[in-house]
Structure 1
Amino acid sequence: MLKKIPVADLALGMHIHKICRRWTNDPFWIGLVEVMLDDVEVLKRIQQSGTREVWIETGKSRVLAPQTAAAFASTINDTAPASLDKEVLRARAICGRARNAVMAMFTEARMGQAMDVDNVQLLVEEISSSILRHPHALISLSRLKTSDEYTYMHSVAVCALMVALARRMGLPDDQVREAGVAGLMHDVGKMMIAPHVLNKPGRLTHDEFEIMKAHPELGLKILKENQPVAAKVMDVCLHHHEKVDGSGYPHGLKGDQISIFARMGAVCDVYDAITSDRPYKKGWGVAHSIREMASWKGHFDDVVFQSFVKTVGIYPTGTLVRLESGRLGVVVEQSEASLLKPRVKVFMSARTGKTFAAQIIDLGSFADPDAIVQIEKPTDWGLEEVDTLWAGSPA
């Protein structure tokens, strides 16, 4: 969408459609048509030129114009419960805005510039409000990321997971917000890792992994240069790869040496990483990931991990399951009464392989008694886009 803004509001990361000034043969102004504004010297020259307004294209911009920020800020106070279908629509827009903001901040960090963190609190508040309206819509949606946007959307996903986990653990509101900010900023150090290592489409060599292991300390350095940043946020950035048995990095901390926020960050970071498609591997199924993580003794704090399972469910939204009745379905909603009895959208016969009109059943209801007997792999049934059954459209 095109939007006219004052030059005073122009910022790095905005996509310029055209400058509102008289035509000139000056190559500088001719070049400022349909271009991303990434050069601070170009920005200064525009601001000092006397030009008053500029058209930007918001859909291609990596940062929000103030008017856009104000528009979505008005939705933050809306925390009334919403259906999955309704909240998924809102969550798509939130994820898009958050991805663009993280991309802009991380790009500034990579270029050695001070990050513009003005939108961080606003984004965390909006993500938190979405989770209050529906606890699983944005969390599940943020998992459906493309491999080329992984670094940015991973930060958005971990933010959402940290907010939901903090609420589940009963932390006060100010700490819920800090947990969200920590999730959003935990991987900023990866911007200092060479792209051929960060985006390598294969297993890292020993030397490459040692380079990758430097990102927590690189991230801490960036955050220290962008004060004020809360101590808990910096702690999660530095220690989200520590393990309770002391085998993690960068400091090999054990047990209670690791803060509760860093222990939360470790669980959220790993869950989103293994359930997401990466340049070098396909993501695991969400329910399979929970089972695998439960088997990694010494990796996670037991109390934090159990709270996390209650947050996302034993059968998280998007899990393909087979029921006792012989029907296949995808989990669309969790049950507060029982983690074993979510709501499932059934759509196929496991006996015949034929599909039928989808319907939602509540496994906790006596009206249609049924139960999950096993988790299924979509590929075993020739199903390419199971997530469209709950998310409405492909990722």
Structure 2
Amino acid sequence: MIKRRYMRTRQLKPGMIIDQVIKDPTGRNLVVQGSAIDDYIISSLLKLGIMSVYIREGNADPDDPDAILSPKAAAMVKQLRTDDRSKVTLSDSVRQRVSTGVQYIFNNTNSEELTQATNQIADSLMEAINENDAIAVDISSLKTSDEYTFKHSVDVATISMILAKQMKLPDNEIHDIGVSGLLHDIGKTMIPNEILNKPGRLTDDEFNIMKKHSVYGYNMLKDRKDLNNSILMGVLQHHERIDGTGYPLGFDAPKICQFAKILSVADVYDALVTKRPYKDALSQRDAVEMLMSMTNQLDIGVMRAFMSSMILYPVDSIVQLSNGEKARVVKNSEYYILRPTVVGVDSGRVYNLGNDLKCASIIIL
């Protein structure tokens, strides 16, 4: 960790790092902040009557985005930094409540309290969205559970609720799509574990069994009077595709309900960025690019809402650029989620990846 210490000039030693700008009487920089000092600089400081200075001690913490910035980079970050759009934030207490609730749902699928428990989780997510009028989501910040099925259900529900809000659906429908997202994979409780957790590619027969989970889920829920048809259709149809290539019924766009169109985008994205026994997680960039390649299968209106809602590289995060430089994110654009504005941590160069043609060949790795 880096510390700043005030020290008498006569006690300085060559090689120490100065942690302030030193100017000569004409206003010119004599010593740049972050410079290593030598005997000449120490002598010059004494001649100028500068009897004490700030020095920097310790090593930069790689997790501290400020510590690794050069002085030029720090100045550019201060000038350009723009807070991210309001995003969903779950407090520790809400995260615990949501995690406990979703585990209850999947472990008690026949309980009369299932709908009530699901509504309570959706209420908590709705409250988190409304608390700071969130219109975006950083999926890496949710972390509600280490167990895939539980985490995936909460991720899909949260993303879907934000997409629904972006699409200006009324509050009751935003809440209900959260319920549908929480329950969309409940049918997987009927799939044998040796298929569900198989650490390799499924055979055709195994995949045919896996594909039944949406029908199983619908059948488990359809007689519950407190779940409306949109919620049930979301569960049944979340693997349908608008070109008719999905399952279980092979419906095309006109026959697929709006909830399912929203859930399918959230479901595909979260599955792509999550590590499973049979596959590694894709990077967020690769997942978004794959999603964009599926425009013939996924609803374009929902895709636009997704591109306006996701924050892949939160402001202040450190990223690796394809030109070899590390950079700090200073501004995101809702239209170019793969291409924020960043500042090189060493060079201080500004890369407006979304709008500057000179940066067209540079990507975030």
Range class of TM-score, shorter chain:
0.5 to 0.7
Q: CA deviation at 1:170?
A: 1.0
Q: Report Cα offsets for 1:276-322 as digits up to 9, x if no partner.
A: 11122111111211111111252111222122111115x55479452
8 Å contact from structure 1 (residues 239, 250) kept in 2: yes
Q: Secondary structure at 1:119's aligned position in 2?
A: helix
8 Å contact from structure 1 (residues 156, 184) kept in 2: yes
Q: Secondary structure at 2:116's aligned position in 1?
A: coil
Q: CA deviation at 1:191?
A: 0.8
8 Å contact from structure 2 (residues 272, 287) kept in 1: yes
Q: Report Cα offsets for 1:126-179 as digits up to 9, x if no partner.
A: 32333342444563323x577x60111100000110111001111111111111
Structure 1 residue identity aligned to 2:125:
I
Q: CA deviation at 1:208?
A: 0.9
Change (3 A) 1:182 1:288: same
Given the alignment, which residue of 229, 238, 249 partners 1:240? 238
Change (3 A) 1:232 1:345: farther
Worse-matched range after superposition: 173-182 or 239-248: 173-182
For residue 103 of structure 2, what is the aligned residue in structure 1?
A: 103
Q: Report Cα offsets for 1:113-135 as digits up to 9, x if no partner.
A: 44433233332233233334244
Change (3 A) 1:204 1:336: closer
Structure 1 residue identity aligned to 2:181:
G
Change (3 A) 1:246 1:342: same
TM-score by length of 1: 0.61
Given the alignment, which residue of 275, 286, 293 partners 2:273? 275
8 Å contact from structure 2 (residues 307, 334) kept in 1: no
For residue 167 of structure 2, what is the aligned residue in structure 1?
A: 169
Q: CA deviation at 1:362?
A: 9.6
Please give the root-mean-square deviation of Cα atoms over the aligned residues, in Å: 3.7
**2: CA distance between counterparts of 1:333 and 1:91?**
25
Q: Secondary structure at 1:244's aligned position in 2?
A: coil
Change (3 A) 1:95 1:138: farther
TM-score by length of 2: 0.65
Gaps of 5+ in 2: 1-82
8 Å contact from structure 2 (residues 313, 329) kept in 1: yes
Higher Cα radius of gyration: 2
Change (3 A) 1:154 1:332: farther
Change (3 A) 1:279 1:93: farther
For residue 198 of structure 1, what is the aligned residue in structure 2?
A: 196
Q: CA deviation at 1:199?
A: 1.2
Q: CA deviation at 1:101?
A: 0.8
Change (3 A) 1:339 1:108: closer
Change (3 A) 1:163 1:330: farther
Change (3 A) 1:265 1:333: farther
For residue 385 of structure 1, what is the aligned residue in structure 2?
A: none
Percent identity (aligned): 32
**2: CA distance between counterparts of 1:166 and 1:191?**
27
Q: How does 1:64-79 map to 2 (within 5 A)?
A: none
Higher RCO, Cα 8 Å, sep 6+: 2
For residue 76 of structure 1, what is the aligned residue in structure 2?
A: none
Change (3 A) 1:93 1:137: farther
Q: Secondary structure at 2:198's aligned position in 1?
A: coil
8 Å contact from structure 1 (residues 287, 316) kept in 2: no
The answer to whether 1:292 aligns with 2:290 is yes
**2: CA distance between counterparts of 1:201 and 1:174?**
40
8 Å contact from structure 1 (residues 130, 138) kept in 2: no
Gaps of 5+ in 1: 1-82, 350-358, 365-369, 378-395
Q: CA deviation at 1:376?
A: 4.2
For residue 322 of structure 1, what is the aligned residue in structure 2?
A: 321
The answer to whether 1:207 aligns with 2:198 is no
Q: Secondary structure at 2:182's aligned position in 1?
A: helix
Q: CA deviation at 1:98?
A: 1.4
Q: Secondary structure at 1:118's aligned position in 2?
A: helix
For residue 59 of structure 2, what is the aligned residue in structure 1?
A: none
**1: CA distance between counterparts of 2:362 and 2:202?**
34
Paired residues, what number?
279
8 Å contact from structure 2 (residues 89, 129) kept in 1: no
Change (3 A) 1:236 1:331: farther
**2: CA distance between counterparts of 1:254 and 1:150?**
29
Structure 1 residue identity aligned to 2:321:
R
